[in-house]
Amino acid sequence: MRVLYISFVPVVLGLVAAATASTSTLKLIANESVTVSTVSVDEVKQVFLLTAPSFNGGGRVVPVLEKGGPAHEVFLKEFVRKTDDALLTYYRSLLFTGKATMPKMLSTDAEVVDYVAKTKGAVGYVSAQTDSPGTKTLQVK
């Protein structure tokens, strides 16, 4: 029994480290017109699933996503809790029922930063190390 315990501890510690590392590899950025500076995970999920037009206490926001890559994978796992295919299917169902339009989807962190900086109310995500001039980083609680 003791051997099982000893081999189990590194696995648990590894999972905790992986979870911490994943959230630190991503940052949520917003156009400087967005009035909030702190948002909850739930608010981010609602905005990106198009069930809420804004963050609590802020004006209307325009979500923008990446088409793929490490930041996108972390975002899917940590915030919307859907696979990429499931998220696209979800967006298409909203589009075909007339409930919403597809959010903007860009290919790179640089494209997301550029779009968010130039688009009033835009909010997106990029890799944590990405330079994001003209935007502000939102703190996620």
> Residue 74 falls within a domain, yes or no?
yes
Report how far residue 38's alpha carbon sits from residue 29's, in angstroms, rounded to the nearest whole number.
Answer: 11
As for how many domains the chain has, the answer is 1
For residue 90, give the CATH number of its domain.
3.40.190.10
> Residue 21 falls within a domain, yes or no?
no
Lowest model confidence (mean pLDDT) among 8-12, 80-84, 85-89, 136-140: 8-12
Amino acid at 129: Q
Lowest model confidence (mean pLDDT) among 97-106, 110-119, 121-130: 97-106
> Residue 79 falls within a domain, yes or no?
yes
Q: Residue 3 above 60 pLDDT? A: no
Report how far residue 10's alpha carbon sits from residue 16's, in angstroms, rounded to the nearest whole number.
Answer: 10
**């169902």: which residue's tokens?**
93
> Residue 122 falls within a domain, yes or no?
yes
Task: Kindly report, residue by residue over 18-39, the tens digit of the pLDDT.
Answer: 333 344 789 999 999 999 999 9
Task: Kindly report, residue by residue over 38-66, the tens digit of the pLDDT.
Answer: 999 999 999 999 999 999 877 899 999 99
> Residue 18 falls within a domain, yes or no?
no
> Residue 99 falls within a domain, yes or no?
yes
Q: What is the pLDDT of residue 2?
A: 52
